[in-house]
Structure 1
Amino acid sequence: MDKYRKLNLFTLELGSDLCLEKTLEEILKSIPLIREETFDKYGVVIPNVRIKENKALKSLEYVIKVNGYAAGRFEFKKNSILILDTGFVKTKMTGKPAKEPVFGVPGLWITKGKRVEAEQNGYVTLTAPKVIRVHLQEKIKENLSSVITTQYVGELLDEVLKENEFLCTQLVKKYGNASLTVVKLVLCSLLDEEVSIRNLLPILETISNEPKFDRAKIPALVNKVRCSIIPDIIGSLGERNNDIKALLLSQKLSESMFNNLTETGEIAFNPAIRKLFSNELSLKISEMIDQGFSPVVLCVEPLRYSVKFFFDSLGISNIHVLSDMEMTAAIRKMNTSLQVFATIGEDFVPTTENAKEASGNEKTLEASRSKKISNDDYVRLQEKLNQIVGNLEPFEQKVLSMRFGLGEERSHTLEEVGNAFDIPLEKIRRIEAKALRLLRKNANSDE
């Protein structure tokens, strides 16, 4: 697949000062590591990242492009270095406020001469090569499905053909000219949910067992494929002894979701209901993380794809959605145990009328939003939450803000928070758990 790797799907353009020998050397060294880590984790061979100087950029600016479009950019300050407060800073330093570009963590610009002082005081110092590496790695992860082109799938199957001719023959016999398309759609769907495709044979075997190609049934096919590689999915959760604790969608909520499904498989709840559901789910996720569990939601198999899409639309990306079929497969293949952590949607269940309201005219939608915002109870709740969060240590506030998207564009995974502060994941998990315990303790003491 050497020929394919030469495609310029990902491009890193650098300003003139970032092309200086020492800086450029560190950036170049990071690229093979990113490619190796991506393959080890997701089973995807990403093409070489093209690195070039762009004289149109400012001297300390860089741009990451995906398929020719700018996906991220940042500009460093001359003779300055970016520092982040870890929450364990001994002496506060002054500098120009800034935000690191990958996760939006607040930081400070200080002069390079103060770097040693900052590190001795407990700050994390971010060099240009480190920022660029993490930023590039995140953009590659976000766009992994873009790597899976028809050409990529064709060359992938050529590799499989060398050792498993029968399987490839079955695929072609079953789907004909559509075989590459089917495999591509399935692989892209898996990667969009950050599921590794490294264990390729069971994926292809499951696809080959389908009776015929129907694009509308791709989500159902993806669910079957997930069952075939469930050990990999469960293993990625990192739970001890593969024991899973999950949030369960109540039967009434599941029925309501079915009733509000659109033709494209989206769950059409109106904005007010989406907000209530998001709040309840976020609280339960916080409780799970507080107790050291990976956030997992369990639902019935026909809803899994729609539920995951619904969570993504709410900005809740740090959660795994498993179906009852997948859990059955996990219990059978891995002796996995399942415990229900909590049931979601027992007290509040939307109806089909809510979906009709959501699809009404703009005046109806605006009235719904205005009613939601002006609700006295909601305002008091927001004030109380702000007061509680204000009592936490600065770094604890930052961890919660990044993890759950408070004041951010989106929520962030544990790995993303760890990368942002250059701190081991377990340390971030302990800090996060401590912050959540304090938050809950303060909330309960005022009841």
Structure 2
Amino acid sequence: MKPKDLVVLVGVIGIILMMVVPLPIWLLDVLLIINISIALGIILIGMNTKEALEFSIFPALLLITTLFRLALNVSTTRNILANADAGNVVMTFGSFVAGGNLVVGFVIFIILVLVQFIVITKGSERVAEVAARFTLDAMPGKQMAIDADLNAGLINETQAKERREKISREADFYGAMDGASKFVKGDAIAGIIMLFINILGGLVIGMTMKGMSLSEAGKLYSLMTIGDGLVSQIPALLISTAAGIIVTRANSEGNLAHDLTKQMTAYPKLLYIIAGTVAGLGIFTPIHLTVTLPIAALLAFAANKLQKNAAKKEMADVQLEEEQQIEEVRSPESVISLLQVDPIEFEFGYGLIPLADTQQGGDLLDRIILIRRQCALELGVVVPVIRIRDNIQLRPNEYVIKIKGNMVARGDLLLNHYLAMSPGYDDDSITGIDTLEPAFGLPALWIDEATKERAELSGYTVVDPPSVVATHLTEIIKKHAHELLGRQETKALIENVRETYPALVDDLIPNVLSIGDVQKVLVKLLREKISVRDLVTILETLADYGTYTKDHEILAEYVRQALSRQITQQFAAAGDSLKVITVGPSLEKKIAESVQQSDQGSYLALDPASTQVIYQRISDQVTKLLQAGQQPVVLTSPTIRMYLRQLLERTMQDIPVLSYSELEPNVEIQSMGVVNL
């Protein structure tokens, strides 16, 4: 046990012993001064805290100091009744406050007790009770706000955990304060009871056992009783006030003195009104001007001084801001900051500003939050924060989407129109501005409000401009998700799994594979639009096969086979057959014979003529399926799947290539064509 811990334990035991063991007068005087010092320290700490949790030990400290004060009351009562002597501290307080008049001293003591009991203690108790109730009621909302910030990417998991712990501690603190305030209330009642016990007991003992007259006993014991009450009630009043200050303090940037001076002097013009009111009291009432005029002049002078200081501060802030901007331009760090590249940027011309301006009804920011949530659910990755800015170099109605500083998509919007896409047959009565739907490249029309209802009745799909942008941005993120997943992002995903599956992560990383190896496998899955949300299954598979091979292509194939249920549900709806383009035996044989091995792994080495033939024949089959309104899927054997995917990646990136082992046995496969050489 540490020495400071031992001191606290000995102190608490000593407080209990004080109630039963008589103390010498000199030690009692020392303890009374210590009690006053502790009370002063508590109220000063309470005034300098910025938030209640900075003094979270206060409820327990309140109980200990109350117990200490009661033990001192018992000790002084014992000395008053047994020895008619309570020490110099008690006598000094009694004689100084009473000023030779016991009635005055008694009345002052009663006033102090009533102020503490009725005003301070009662108010602190009520505030603590309400604060505890409202803190508990607000916990679900605060938790939801933390989850929303976490999902939006405004905070990380560590910050979210700290905020949740802070909310829990606040609830515990105010709940403890609600209970601890009852001790203060009981202490005030005990002080009043001890007052009458000391006076009545002192009168009886003084007259019967000490041989004093009624007046002598009354004067002596009343003086000591008043002094004893003041010595205990003044620290109690200070601690009660500290309790009121702490529970009524809202979180702020400064302490009580800073907030008081800053907020009370925030409106200097109001001081002129107060000065005029005070001066009017001296003029129109019997209160003389000699009393009110100096105060009114002081308030007016203070208002004038505050106005001048505020003007100087405003000018100084403007000048300081300009100097900082100049310094930032001159500093070498200003060039370094320009090297930062945002993962995703959305830039638009000035004509599309209403999309992002909430004051003009724009909801683009809310839609982006939903997009990030949707991508997290569908792809299993956390999309970085999307930077939104206007760009005067673009056309007024144009927007561009950038990935790591490079433009990957662009489009045009007409804010006062709707995008109408044909159901497959055109209605001549529906007229508008010809365009292409930006996300999928489908022919469409920009129509006005008057044509919207008629187009919907004709079967057209009608979409407003914000939905067009949201759809386009979502598809771009899905298409380029593999570019947004780096080692740092992979580490964050793995650490999230570690919280619930620590044995799995510790077994895999770094003993079997590094974070970079896992990242390469995840990137290969995302490149083919395979969700990595089931990260536990992925890591389990890598842990099983990572000891046999380090080839990322082969590891990705093993993972795809482990995700067969997910892949099947992604490409074959429940109850429907999967329509595929089957790779024939001759083509499989040709690809298998063209596989070459190297130190970096295996690769496909086909001659240009064969490559062109394969492209053409697969393209013909894909065109037939698209014309029939079917999603084309190429199906092949597991041994050549990844090589065929490499072959088609540049020209047919959006065509899924699956193997037989990636499909569930219960799915019905319908071949719509065979590709052979």
- Which ranges in structure 2 are unaligned for 5 or more consecutive residues? 1-148, 155-340
Question: Any idea what the Cα deviations from partners look like across 1:132-152, whole Å, max 9, x if unmatched?
Answer: 111111110111112321111
- The 1:173/1:127 distance shift into structure 2, 3 A limit, reads closer
CA distance in 2, matches of 1:155, 1:199: 15
- The 1:144/1:24 distance shift into structure 2, 3 A limit, reads farther
Q: Is the 8 A contact 2:634 2:655 kept in 1?
A: no
Q: Is the 8 A contact 2:420 2:444 kept in 1?
A: yes
Structure 2 residue 552 is the aligned partner of structure 1 residue 221: no
Question: Any idea what the Cα deviations from partners look like across 1:301-333, whole Å, max 9, x if unmatched?
Answer: 2311111222233326233321x4435xx33xx
Letter in 2 for 1:270: P
Structure 2 residue 647 is the aligned partner of structure 1 residue 310: yes
Structure 2 residue 675 is the aligned partner of structure 1 residue 344: yes
Report how far residue 218 of structure 1 moved: 1.2
SS across alignment from 1:302? coil
Q: Is the 8 A contact 2:572 2:578 kept in 1?
A: no
- Structure number with the higher helix fraction is 2
Q: Is the 8 A contact 1:16 1:60 kept in 2?
A: yes
Equivalent residue pairs, number: 336
| Matched residue, 2:662 | 326
Q: Is the 8 A contact 1:61 1:73 kept in 2?
A: yes
| Matched residue, 2:389 | 52
Q: Which runs of structure 2 are paired with 1:36-435 in the superposition (5 Å)?
A: 36-77=373-414, 81-110=418-447, 114-116=451-453, 118-119=455-456, 122-175=459-512, 179-212=514-547, 217-241=551-575, 244=578, 246-261=580-595, 265-266=603-604, 268-270=606-608, 273-285=610-622, 295-315=632-652, 317-322=654-659, 324-327=660-663, 330-331=664-665, 335-336=666-667, 342-345=673-676, 349=677
TM, length-normalised to structure 1: 0.65
Report how far residue 180 of structure 1 moved: 0.2
Letter in 2 for 1:62: Y
Letter in 1 for 2:636: C
Identity of aligned residues (%): 24
Q: Is the 8 A contact 2:417 2:465 kept in 1?
A: no
CA distance in 2, matches of 1:108, 1:299: 40
Q: Is the 8 A contact 1:244 1:338 kept in 2?
A: yes
Give 1:17's match in structure 2, choosing from 351, 355, 363: 351
Letter in 1 for 2:535: L
Question: Any idea what the Cα deviations from partners look like across 1:92-149, whole Å, max 9, x if unmatched?
Answer: 4444433232232233445555545554555444432122111111110111112321
- The 1:92/1:225 distance shift into structure 2, 3 A limit, reads same
Q: Is the 8 A contact 1:11 1:64 kept in 2?
A: yes
Report how far residue 57 of structure 1 moved: 2.6
Letter in 1 for 2:403: V
Farther-moved stretch of structure 1 (20-29 vs 306-315): 20-29
CA distance in 2, matches of 1:294, 1:110: 29
Letter in 1 for 2:438: P
Report how far residue 79 of structure 1 moved: 5.6
SS across alignment from 1:174? coil
- The 1:244/1:93 distance shift into structure 2, 3 A limit, reads closer
Q: Is the 8 A contact 2:604 2:643 kept in 1?
A: yes
Report how far residue 208 of structure 1 moved: 1.3
SS across alignment from 2:470? helix
Letter in 1 for 2:511: K
Q: Is the 8 A contact 1:289 1:295 kept in 2?
A: yes
SS across alignment from 1:62? strand
Farther-moved stretch of structure 1 (105-114 vs 253-262): 105-114
Q: Is the 8 A contact 1:239 1:294 kept in 2?
A: no
Give 1:5's match in structure 2, choosing from 153, 174, 179: 153
Let me know the Cα RMSD of the aligned residues: 3.3
Report how far residue 219 of structure 1 moved: 0.9
CA distance in 1, matches of 2:675, 2:466: 44
Which structure has more relative contact order (CA 8 Å, sep 6+)? It is 1
| Matched residue, 2:182 | none
Q: Is the 8 A contact 1:274 1:314 kept in 2?
A: no
| Matched residue, 1:382 | none
Report how far residue 287 of structure 1 moved: 6.0
- The 1:109/1:296 distance shift into structure 2, 3 A limit, reads closer
SS across alignment from 1:141? helix
- The 1:293/1:234 distance shift into structure 2, 3 A limit, reads farther
CA distance in 1, matches of 2:547, 2:346: 42
Report how far residue 242 of structure 1 moved: 7.5
| Matched residue, 1:30 | 367
- The 1:77/1:293 distance shift into structure 2, 3 A limit, reads closer
Question: Any idea what the Cα deviations from partners look like across 1:76-95, whole Å, max 9, x if unmatched?
Answer: 35865544333344434444
Q: Is the 8 A contact 1:250 1:343 kept in 2?
A: yes
CA distance in 1, matches of 2:414, 2:612: 39
Rg comparison, structure with higher value: 2
- The 1:267/1:141 distance shift into structure 2, 3 A limit, reads farther
- The 1:240/1:295 distance shift into structure 2, 3 A limit, reads farther
Q: Is the 8 A contact 2:349 2:397 kept in 1?
A: yes
CA distance in 2, matches of 1:17, 1:252: 57
- The 1:117/1:233 distance shift into structure 2, 3 A limit, reads closer
Report how far residue 220 of structure 1 moved: 0.9
- The 1:186/1:94 distance shift into structure 2, 3 A limit, reads same
Question: Any idea what the Cα deviations from partners look like across 1:41-69, whole Å, max 9, x if unmatched?
Answer: 22122122222222333332212111121
| Matched residue, 2:283 | none
Q: Is the 8 A contact 2:152 2:372 kept in 1?
A: no
Letter in 2 for 1:344: V
Letter in 2 for 1:326: E
CA distance in 1, matches of 2:485, 2:379: 12
- The 1:254/1:342 distance shift into structure 2, 3 A limit, reads same
Letter in 2 for 1:265: Y
Farther-moved stretch of structure 1 (151-160 vs 102-111): 102-111
Report how far residue 39 of structure 1 moved: 1.9
- The 1:4/1:167 distance shift into structure 2, 3 A limit, reads farther
CA distance in 2, matches of 1:95, 1:338: 43
- The 1:214/1:2 distance shift into structure 2, 3 A limit, reads farther
Letter in 1 for 2:553: P
